[in-house]
Amino acid sequence: MKFVPGFLAVLALSGAITVSAAAASDQPITVTIDQQKLNLSTSAPVKDHDAILVPMRPIFEKLGLSLVWNAKTSTITASKEGLTITLQLGSKKASVNGTVKQLTSAPKMINNVTYVPLRFVSEATGNSVTWNAKANTVEIKSNQSSAVTKGISELFDKYTSYSNKNDFAGFLGLIDPKSPLAAAAPALKEQMEKSDTTTAIAKMDIIDVQAKEATVDVVETTVRNSGAFTPNSTAEYIYSLTKNAGGSDWLISNVQIKAIKYSLPDGTLEAKPPVPAADEDQIKAVLQANTDFSNKEDLSGVLSTIDESSPAYAQSEQTYKQLFAAYDLESAVESSKIIYYNNNEAAIYAVLTSKKLKGPQFTDYRAETVTTVKKSADGKWKLVQTYNLNIEPLTK
């Protein structure tokens, strides 16, 4: 996500991460209707051979049908003007306006909830159905998809287009000028000038939409091409949207990070950037100094290793204060390697460990991280931002 730079990871060598370390890899099956996510929070969809079954009531009601359940015959009748659908538990035969249809999977009762075959129900009501394997989502599109939904899709089409073209003016035009995000414009411009990445929308679910406001769940992938170092990422965001002053277009008003997973571009660890010996020593030394000061609980010392211009600086101060008040930890740099260097900027890959000496419940861990560093005007290297690539508990 380009317009909110990754300043939220606050050099969390202690493991106190402010966002989730990984987006869920085993995604549950979701269902969208005209890109609005169907609320199935109490009973998730299930696969039954080649069919997907969903709870009966949410899908029928979302498609505008009323329900009648005949307990004596275990028969479901769903109807609206001009359409009557009849199904029976355990039977692979159904009827649509009196015409018998063959089902690939019969309706069934699961945990006292009646499940029905999703594709049959959707197509019987005149909608098209697509299985998005990458997103693990069943996408239902009505014959008359709303203009509201189309407008939101167009917004995110522009979002990726402007991002990938590094079109600062175009991208800024997608942000609500009244939003706090508008204040990120200088950082956005700098980032677009320094780096080249490719952003793609892997999944988009419209959670809620009103006349002038909408909430959208988006999974984005970002891949580094060239320029200043950034890791690749797969992230899930919750976007808040508002209509512009004229009410014709959607704008981004806020964003919340739900989950994020960073990874290194292919070949990064094998790269051997030409780094002057003096700079290599200083870059590794500042990472070690940060760890040493953290072990001593020396807040001033820790902050002296962090670039004062980094938006993470103030948040780092608060994080370390809370950390030192609650725990006595022992951290160590197991190994480190410079993977990017460009005169005044660099990135260092490191394997770090942290163990609790005193304090509340804490899981000792080993973390793979990448930290970007910057040379200040006085020639000192300082930490800018740390990305957690992988965190695993230490075995005793």
Model confidence over 150-179: pLDDT tens digits?
788 899 999 999 999 999 999 999 999 998
Domain boundary pick from 263, 285, 308: 263
320 and 284 in one domain? yes
Report pLDDT for 396.
Answer: 63
Distance CA 194, CA 226 (A): 9
Domain boundary among 141, 164, 185: 141
Nearest to 234 by CA among 20, 386, 37: 20
> Do 254 and 350 sit in the same domain of this protein?
no
Same domain for 257 and 193: yes
pLDDT tens profile 196-227 = 899 999 888 888 777 788 899 889 999 999 88
Same domain, residue pair 111 and 183: no
- pLDDT, averaged across the chain: 85
pLDDT in tens, 336-388: 999 999 989 999 999 999 999 999 998 999 999 999 999 988 899 999 989 99
Query: Tokens 């049908």 appear where?
Result: 65
CA dist., res. 46 & res. 241, Å (int): 32
Query: Among the listed ranges 123-137, 295-309, 320-334, 341-355, which one has the minimum average pLDDT value?
Result: 123-137
**Inside any domain, residue 19:** no
3-state secondary structure of 48: strand
In a domain, 160, yes or no: yes
Per-residue pLDDT of 11-20, as tens digits, reads 222 232 233 3
Q: How confident is residue 2, by pLDDT bands cut at 50, 70 and 90?
A: very low
- Which residue, of 141, 166, 201, is where some domain finishes? 141
Instruction: Assess whether 287 and 380 both reside in one domain.
Output: yes
CATH number for the domain that contains residue 195: 3.10.450.50
pLDDT in tens, 222-259: 999 988 898 999 989 889 999 988 878 899 998 888 88
94 and 185 belong to one structural domain: no
Residue 97 lies in a domain: yes
Domain that residue 360 falls in? 277-393
Domain tally for the chain? 3
In this structure, the answer to whether residues 291 and 323 fall within a common structural domain is yes
| 24 assigned to some structural domain | no
Phi, psi of 184 (to 5 degrees): -85, 5
Kindly tell me if the per-residue pLDDT of 67 is higher than 80: yes
User: Are residues 108 and 151 part of one domain?
Assistant: no
Q: Does residue 9 lie within any of the structural domains?
A: no
